[in-house]
Structure 1
Amino acid sequence: MAAGTRSRTGASAAEVATRIREAIFAGELVPNQRLVEADLAEAYGASRGHVRTALGELTVEGLVERIQNRGARVRSVPLEEALEIVEVRAAVEALCAARAAERVTDEQAERLRGIGRRMEDAVREGDQAAYAQGNKDLHGAVIGLADQRTAAATIDRLRAQAVRFQYRLSARPGRSQTSLPEHLAIIEAVCARDPEAAARAMREHLASVARAIAESARD
């Protein structure tokens, strides 16, 4: 049976892979956590065969690793690899920012500025959850405007692999105050329809993310 085909008795392998992937993105499944096929089959209402296929797909994506004679677990990314991931993200997201600046409409520009205002409000009110959502919304909006599906899929995989560093960074005191002007610079460059400035602002922001991750690891 194909991975994307639903069985008569439960979730397809593709659906199981999506749910595990989302749980990793959300931090519900943490690095080094064991992924027991029988438990996942029961939790997701799927056959063990579909769970096995889903874990194989996620292994290819770099989210899961298989340990000989011990089954599968959520892959833990070391600091050095996390920094490499941010470097690659910077290159890909800079491309997306440049494309967004070329394509943005007046209505879309106002939406981006609205996200920026919400992020400013969140920093002023000390609402970390709202700021994190604004961060997610902004990056997602820029990637969406770029209309680069391959880039979007690549960024999703890269961000998921380094998710524990992102959570650690989001909780770092003062980080939102540092990153807010970086995000606002991205917004203004895209809205000004300046591809070079948009790409530069995105690269500078993600270089700042890499430095903060390294500092957090040292602390």
Structure 2
Amino acid sequence: MTLTSDTDAAGPPIPRDVAQQIREAILGGEFAPHQRLIEADLSDRFDAPRAAVRAALLTLSSEGLVERLPNRGARVRAISVDEAVEIVEVRVGLESLCARKAAENVDDEDIVSLRALREDIASAIGGGDLVAYSRLNQDLDRRLRDLSGHATASQLLERLRAQSARHQFRLAFHPGRAAQSAPEHIAIIDAVIARDPDAAEAATRTHLAGIVAVLRSLD
């Protein structure tokens, strides 16, 4: 297991990936909202020292994925629909910024890759493969963040997306949502490929406005 140079009060180094493993388990639905996260159980499950688990839970608490209860340990934090809407509203500014900068920074090699992703999205929707479509959407989000070169916006978006991941998964399977969102994603890709920052920003704002509308309907 890869170790960091960080140490806790007792002195031993802390495994770097414990927080990531717990994060992935939460986002993957292995832990339910409000489920208690017991340090001893997590230590056994992830083969990590209790100190490393405790540090990981503190990290995830700062990210909003976990909440710590006085004298009761930690549990998975539940995100309400209202909070999910607020998160998307914050994402509008950050993601439209990233899309704009991606359109400004994209090079010929990136365009080839984005065209292939565009085809994969169209194919997934055409074949009714919503699981693949959801995965491709996440891939597109990552690529746009990378292309933007905006480290601060990317870090903030990673945290916001982690908090609302469960609602994002529900949206992917909401009746009719994929048929609506696929053209929106393709419009974003087309704008970036065309190196049109204004169009990339506008397409991103349109897409996120649709997400807000669907989330409110879920409530």
| TM-score, shorter chain, exceeding 0.5 | yes
Deviation of 1:101 (Å) = 0.3
Cα RMSD between the aligned structures? 1.8
For 1:124, the equivalent position in structure 2 comes to 126
Superposition map of 1:15-164 within 5 A: 15-164=17-166
Instruction: Say which of 185, 210, 213 aligns to 2:212.
Output: 210
Deviation at 1:46, TM superposition (A): 1.3
Which residue type is aligned with residue 195 of structure 2?
Answer: R
Counterpart in 1 of 2:5?
Answer: 5
Mapped partners of 1:69, 1:160: distance in 2? 26
Moved more, 15-24 or 92-101: 15-24
1:181 maps onto 2:176 in alignment: no
In 1, the alpha carbon distance for the partners of 2:52 and 2:149 equals 32
Deviation, structure 1 residue 41:
0.6
What is the alpha-carbon distance in structure 2 between the residues aligned to residue 67 and residue 107 of structure 1? Answer: 49
Q: Secondary structure at the match of 2:16?
A: helix
AA of the residue aligned to 2:155:
A
**For residues 163 and 28 of structure 1, what CA distance do their matches in structure 2 show?**
13
Task: Quickly say closer, same or farther: Cα 1:11–1:22, change in 2 above 3 A.
Answer: farther
Query: How far does the alpha carbon of each residue in 1:144-177 deviate from its partner, in whole angstroms, 9 at most, with x for none?
Result: 1111222111111101111121111111121110
SS of alignment partner, residue 68 of structure 2: strand
**Percentage of identical aligned residues:** 47
Shift of residue 107, structure 1, vs aligned partner: 1.8
Question: TM-score when scaled to structure 2?
Answer: 0.91
User: Counterparts of 2:5 and 2:20 in 1: how far apart (Å)?
Assistant: 14
Which amino acid in structure 2 is aligned with residue 5 of structure 1? S
Deviation, 1:31, is 1.6
Matched pairs, number:
213
Structure 2: stretches of 5+ with no match in the other structure: none
User: How far 1:6 sits from its partner (Å)?
Assistant: 7.3
Residue identity opposite 2:128 in structure 1: G
- Partner secondary structure for residue 12 of structure 1: strand
Question: 1:216: Cα distance to partner?
Answer: 2.1
Q: Distance in 1 between matches of 2:159 and 2:205?
A: 19
Find the residue that maps to 2:134 and give its secondary structure: helix
The alpha-carbon deviation at position 55 of structure 1 amounts to 0.6
Q: CA deviation at 1:13?
A: 5.0
Q: Structure 1 length as normaliser, TM-score?
A: 0.91
Task: Give 1:56 deviation, angstroms.
Answer: 0.9
